[in-house]
Amino acid sequence: MTATLPQTETQAESRELTYSEAIREALAEAMTADDRVFMLGEDVGVYGGAFGVSGDLVHRFGKERIRDTPISELGIVGAAVGAALAGMRPIVEIQFSDFTCQAMDQIVNQAAKIHFMLGGAVSVPMVLRTPLGSGTGAAAQHSQSLEAWFAHVPGLKVVMPSTVSEVKGLLLAAIDDPNPVVFLEHKLLYRTKGHVPAGADRVPLGRSVVRREGADLTIVATGIMVSRSLEAAARLADEGIEATVVDPVTLTPLDEAPILDAVRRTGRVMLVQEAPGHVGFMSEIAARIAGSSALYSLEAPIKRLCGLDAPMPYAPALEAAMVPQLDDIVVAGRALATQEA
């Protein structure tokens, strides 16, 4: 594993932090260790970030390195690309992932392709951090989950950290990476708590994680749906249905083996994501399974449990109805596990 920072501290030490704090710690450690690392984005300075992630970093690292920008997503992602080409390690925050739409040209036509287009002469080591997802009543222009778009773009690495304990190490690995990494943080995770190693241990990109083992059913879930699926799995276990839960973590490059293995062992699969189902990331997981010999292990059609194919509504009841909730996962899991083969 490549490391920009020294890996001195032991993994033993760990503290309970929130997801936001863990991200902030990664940012601070990377900036302390490496002068090239800096952060830019709207209101990341004294405001502390729209979701409070940068917090007090501006007081610790100054306005140059925790750089407030005008409302110019295209411009600031472009500036990050340019800074990366000139030897820096920029981390750009886009306040809501919906606004990556403004910056798509720089993300997709520039950052993702420059290494390839220039025959490998340069690379674009930058991280684009942005919160996605619904659950805050922010409606259709502030609640999208666009991970499928990024995952479809060759040249971008795409990470969707679902746990507090890994988010720090994943972000450090993303900052190390010589390629552009899109780092997708779910809003509802920011305040969740977990144990975080004190050291600068990287969590390598590109590894799917089996979060739970069970013989009856495989659930593949991303982002906020990981903890929700684990909770559902616990409930199903009370009923005697044992589920394996796999979290891809990195969507591109995808580590498919743990998923296919789980399918082979369980024979039944449910794919859970918040984003609308049509041409979403879980379509790819289904395609990988159906495109491999794991197909022969399937005892039932692959169940996708996804967001509805609609924009995100404002009303709380509608917003909740749009995306898989705990009960939906339990009900669908039970149905799948008990379906006749």
Partner 1 sequence: MQTVVTEVQTRESDITAIAHQPPVQDGVPAAPSTDPATARAALGTMWRIRRFEEAVDDLFARGLMHGTMHLSIGQEASATGVCLALRERDAITSTHRGHGHCIAQGADLTRMMAELLAKETGYCRGRGGSMHIADVATGNLGANGIVGGGIPIAAGAALAYKMRGEDRVVASFFGDGATNEGAFHEGLNLAAIWDLPVVFVCENNKYGMSFSTEFSMAVPHVADRAAAYGMPGVTVDGNDLDAVHAVAAEAVDRARNGGGPTLIEAETYRWKGHSKSDKNLYRTREEIAEWRERDPIVAFETKVTESGLLTAADITAARDEATDAIKAAVREANSGTDADPGDLLDAVFAPVDAAPLASSPNQDVTR
Interface residues with ligand TPP (CB under 6 A) are 42, 71, 73, 95, 99, 102
| Residue 229 to residue 14: CA distance in whole angstroms | 25
The verdict on whether 278 is a catalytic residue reads: no
DSSP 108: I
Contacts of partner 1 in 261-300 (CB under 8 A) = none
Binding mask 80-99 for partner 1 (x = CB under 8 A): xxxxxxxxx-x-------xx
Q: Which residues contact 244 (CB under 8 A, 6 or more apart)?
A: 210, 212, 213, 214, 215, 217, 218, 219, 262, 265, 266
Rule CB under 8 A: is residue 8 a binding residue for partner 1? no
| Choice from 36, 65, 152, 207 touching its own copies (CB under 8 A) | 152
Nearest in space to 26 (alpha carbons), one of 205, 200, 181, 160: 200
Contacts of its own copies in 77-106 (CB under 8 A) = 98-99, 101-102, 104-105
For the bound state, the minimum distance from the C-beta of residue 98 to ligand TPP, rounded and expressed in Å, comes to 8
C-beta closer to partner 1: residue 12 or 317: 317
C-beta closer to its own copies: residue 69 or 292: 292
Q: Residue 215 binds which entry of ligand TPP, its own copies, partner 1, none, with Cβ cut-offs from 5 to 8 Å by kind? A: none
| Residue 8 to residue 141: CA distance in whole angstroms | 43
- Looking at the chain, the number of H-run helices and the number of E-run strands are 12, 14
- ∠ CA 29-34-39 to the nearest 5 degrees? 70
Which whole-number Å values give the CA distances from 199 to 11, 30, 120, 168, 283, in the listed order?
Answer: 6, 12, 33, 10, 37
Amino acid identity of residue 234, one-letter, is: A
Rule CB under 8 A: is residue 62 a binding residue for partner 1? no
Rule CB under 8 A: is residue 7 a binding residue for partner 1? no
Tokens linked to 336: 């799948």
Amino acid identity of residue 311, one-letter, is: P
Rule CB under 8 A: is residue 292 a binding residue for its own copies? yes
Q: Residue 297 binds which entry of its own copies, partner 1, ligand TPP, none, with Cβ cut-offs from 5 to 8 Å by kind? A: none
| Choice from 12, 64, 240, 341 touching partner 1 (CB under 8 A) | 64
* Number of other CB atoms surrounding residue 255 within 10 Å: 16
Q: Residue 265 binds which entry of partner 1, its own copies, ligand TPP, none, with Cβ cut-offs from 5 to 8 Å by kind? A: none
Choose the binding region for partner 1 from 20-28, 69-77, 239-247, 258-266 (rule: CB under 8 A). 69-77
| Residue 94 to residue 17: CA distance in whole angstroms | 23
Burial 178-192 (b: 16+ CB within 10 A, else e): ebbbbbbbbbbbbee
Rule CB under 8 A: is residue 123 a binding residue for its own copies? no
Q: Residue 104 binds which entry of partner 1, its own copies, ligand TPP, none, with Cβ cut-offs from 5 to 8 Å by kind? A: its own copies
Choose the binding region for partner 1 from 10-18, 41-49, 184-192, 193-201 (rule: CB under 8 A). 41-49
Alpha-helical regions (H) of the chain: 19-33, 57-65, 73-85, 100-104, 112-117, 147-151, 164-176, 224-238, 257-266, 281-290, 316-322, 326-338
C-beta closer to partner 1: residue 6 or 240: 6
Rule CB under 8 A: is residue 217 a binding residue for its own copies? no
| Choice from 11, 257, 314, 327 touching partner 1 (CB under 8 A) | 314
| Residue 149 to residue 153: CA distance in whole angstroms | 7
Residue 278 phi/psi, 5° resolution?
-60, 120
For the bound state, the minimum distance from the C-beta of residue 214 to its own copies, rounded and expressed in Å, comes to 21
| Choice from 60, 113, 207, 334 touching its own copies (CB under 8 A) | 113
Identify the active-site residue in 115, 142, 186, 278: 142
Query: Mind telling me the catalytic residues?
Result: 142
